[in-house]
Amino acid sequence: MIIITIGFVAGEREVRQCKACRMEKCLKIGMQVSNVQSKRDKHDNEKIIRRIVEESEKSLVPACYSKVNTIPAELQCSSNFEYNNMRLKSLHRNFTEMLHLRKRAFPRRKTQRTLHHAEALTIFRKDVKLAADWINSTFPELSQLDASQLKLLFRNFYLKWTVFEPAYLAVLLGKPNTYHLPTGDVVDEVGIYYTRHLGTPPSYSLDEVSRIFSPYWTDFRNTLVDPVIDAKLSIHEFLLLCSICLFDVGLDGQSDECILFCQKARQELFRELNEICKHVCDKSENYCFRFAQDMMLLPSIQRGIDVFEEELQLGGLYKLISTSTDDWYAMVDGPNFEKEQGTRN
């Protein structure tokens, strides 16, 4: 809201902001809420702060993230925290944009569905392009790397993303035994997941399929979901850990130049994650322990991938799914990274 007043002395027009606009601007540039005067206009200020938070939450998208407040307001209102200079700011902004794009790509249905394997794979084939755009927008310096190294990093990242995001959503939504997809649909019935997509009747009963694959689902929960529950991750810790997964080192075929590039990026992300832990910890909690607990999720994510790959291979062995680990990797063959060719897969 802009208020226009007339200067009686010089006759010039003066433009000034109303109280609500001034308050909103101050909060956005880092003013601490605790410094707001407590006696004058107390109720108005509280309404303004509440409106800003509500609008920030409404800017989120959809479906599975509808219960998540991704705006780290306590960071933006801290005078001694350089949120505006952090990678987290663009990481969060571009992630929110990806959620909006998901909303258009996957229109939300009135009812949640239980999906089978072919349906889930179709969703991921579409979502992988959105994830690649999110990564490209957040880390433009990736263009310095050779195209083959970019593919290597993204392949490694996206497989981790497909196990880490569902685990995080399962915790957020209070359904730890359910695998959540970007559409808001779920995978929670072993028999349905492995048999409904088949064109011919399966050679195994639903009970037999359940006995074969249920141990892998239980192992996935124990390996990854339970550690995420224990960590009580905030959305910004989650995003930074995802970024650290992108810049992994020690990959087969990774060049020395790429390793140095990733090590530098990881150091920056480690510093930001450490700073985040300081600000999200309770007063009784040591932020060093929280940082260490967050870091322990990285090997848990890798173990989650191991479970996922074994399950895929077993599904192929019993001819219940038509894909294999190699086919899954082929789906994430560096979409949007080969910009020099001007193509989009």
pLDDT tens figures, 76-91: 444 445 666 778 888 8
Q: Which residues contact 343 (CB under 8 A, 6 or more apart)?
A: none
Alpha carbon distance 168, 259 (integer Å) = 28
In a domain, 114, yes or no: yes
Mean per-residue pLDDT for 222-249? 92
- Mean pLDDT for the stretch of residues 113-124: 83
Give the model's confidence band at 331: pLDDT under 50 very low, under 70 low, under 90 confident, else very high: low
Q: Is residue 80 part of a domain?
A: no
**Amino acid 253: pLDDT:** 93
Domain assignment present for residue 311? The answer is yes
pLDDT digits (tens, 9 = 90+) for 279-313: 877 766 788 999 999 999 999 999 999 998 888 88
Q: pLDDT band for position 314 (50/70/90)? A: confident
Residue 196 maps to a domain: yes
Q: What is the mean pLDDT of the chain?
A: 75
pLDDT tens digits for 146-185?
Answer: 999 999 999 899 989 999 999 998 888 888 888 888 887 8
Give dist(CA 129, CA 140) in Å, integer. 16
What is the DSSP secondary structure assignment for residue 189, as one 8-state letter? -
CATH of the domain at 159: 1.10.565.10
Q: In which band, very low, low, confident or very high, does the pLDDT at 324 lie, cut at 50, 70 and 90?
A: low
pLDDT at 286: 83
Is residue 199 predicted with pLDDT exceeding 80?
A: no
Q: pTM value?
A: 0.73
Q: What is the mean pLDDT of residues 201-224?
A: 87
Question: Which tops the pLDDT comparison, 113 or 217?
Answer: 217
Question: Does a structural domain hold residue 241?
Answer: yes
In residues, how long is the chain? 345
**Mean pLDDT score, 256-272:** 95
Torsion sign, CA atoms 112, 114, 118, 124: positive
Point out the least confidently predicted range of 64-68, 247-251, 267-271, 298-302.
64-68
Residue 211 confidence (pLDDT) above 80: yes
CB contact at 8 A, 246 and 151: no
- Number of domains within the chain: 1
pLDDT of 140 higher than 90: yes
- Mean pLDDT within 108-129: 80
**Looking at residues 24-41, what average pLDDT do you find?**
55
Buried/exposed code over 118-147 (b: 16+ C-beta within 10 A; e: otherwise): ebbbebbeebbbbbbbbbbebbeebeebee
Helices 19-28 and 42-58: crossing angle in degrees, nearest 10, is 60
Residue 176: inside a domain: yes
The answer to whether residues 191 and 210 touch, using CB atoms and an 8 Å cutoff, is: yes
Cα 5 to its chain centre, rounded Å, is 46
Q: How high is the pLDDT of residue 136?
A: 93
Residue 338 inside a domain? The answer is no
Q: Looking at the domain assignment, is residue 38 inside a domain?
A: no
pLDDT(35) > 80 = no
Most confident of 35-49, 51-65, 287-301: 287-301
pLDDT score of 229 more than 50: yes
Strand partners, 5: 14
Q: How confident is the model at residue 106, as a pLDDT? A: 81
Stronger pLDDT, 35 or 237, i.e. the higher one: 237
pLDDT of 247 strictly over 90: yes
The residue range of the domain holding 172 is 88-333
For tokens 């925290």, what's the residue?
81
Report d(CA 240, CA 315) in Å as an integer.
33
Q: What is the pLDDT of residue 99?
A: 86
